[in-house]
């Protein structure tokens, strides 16, 4: 549960504008939203302090970095001891090529999103890090053919 107050209409409009262009200047945001630039500045600071805005990112084409292969790996753990889960979660995010980790409820315990330079590198990653890990009981690797980001979450701002 979050302790942050409910977002008002201005906060939501600001978040939506940032989701469309995180590089927009304060003056541009103020102009687009019809509010004072000082209001934009104060609201952004508050939203960052409260953790409602967690960061600003460049969306980089991984193929340009020489890693055109992406995969999602479903992982089932051998046991569900809290200390093993916490250690696994901390360790996994440091493995080379890891983009994100999702902790799940259901048949699989985790989904691991990774990038690799080749299918050989992906195979070696799975063997060395995933199937070779002491708490991993089973994994299933799925190659990503296409990744399309959704915009439906923006309706949550309305």
Grouping H, G, I as helix, E, B as strand and the rest as coil, residue 136 is strand
Query: Can you give the pTM of this predicted structure?
Result: 0.83
Measuring CA to CA, which residue among 128, 104, 124, 127 is closest to residue 116?
A: 124
DSSP percent split of the chain into helix, strand, coil, nearest 5: 40, 20, 40
Grouping H, G, I as helix, E, B as strand and the rest as coil, residue 99 is strand
How much is the pLDDT for 5? 58
How much is the pLDDT for 74? 98
How much is the pLDDT for 151? 87
Neighbours of 40 (CB within 10 A): 23
How much is the pLDDT for 16? 92
Q: Is the Cβ–Cβ distance between 78 and 48 less than 8 Å?
A: no
Helices (H), ranges, 50-156:
82-92, 119-125
How much is the pLDDT for 156? 87
pLDDT tens, per residue, the chain with 158 residues = 445 458 999 999 999 999 889 999 999 999 999 999 999 999 999 999 999 999 988 889 999 999 999 999 999 999 888 988 999 999 999 999 999 999 999 999 999 999 999 999 999 999 999 999 999 999 999 999 999 989 898 888 88
Distance of CA 133 to the CA centre of its chain: 23
Helix axes 26-33, 37-49, angle to 10 degrees: 110
């Amino acid at each position: 549960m979050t302790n942050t107050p409910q977002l008002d209409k201005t906060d939501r409009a600001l978040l939506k504008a940032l989701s469309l262009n995180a590089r927009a200047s304060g003056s541009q945001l103020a102009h687009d939203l019809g509010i004072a630039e000082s209001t934009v500045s104060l609201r952004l600071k508050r939203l960052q302090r409260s953790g409602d805005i967690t960061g600003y990112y460049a969306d980089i084409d991984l193929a340009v970095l020489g890693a055109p292969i992406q995969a999602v790996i479903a992982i089932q753990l051998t046991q569900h001891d809290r200390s093993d889960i916490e250690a696994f979660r901390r360790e996994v995010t440091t493995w080379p090529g890891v983009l994100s980790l999702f902790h799940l409820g259901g048949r699989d315990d985790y989904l691991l999103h990774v990038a690799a330079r080749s299918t050989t590198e992906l195979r070696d990653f799975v063997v060395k890090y995933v199937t070779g890990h002491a708490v991993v009981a089973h994994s299933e690797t799925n190659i990503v053919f296409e990744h399309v980001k959704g915009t439906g979450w923006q309706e949550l701002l309305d």
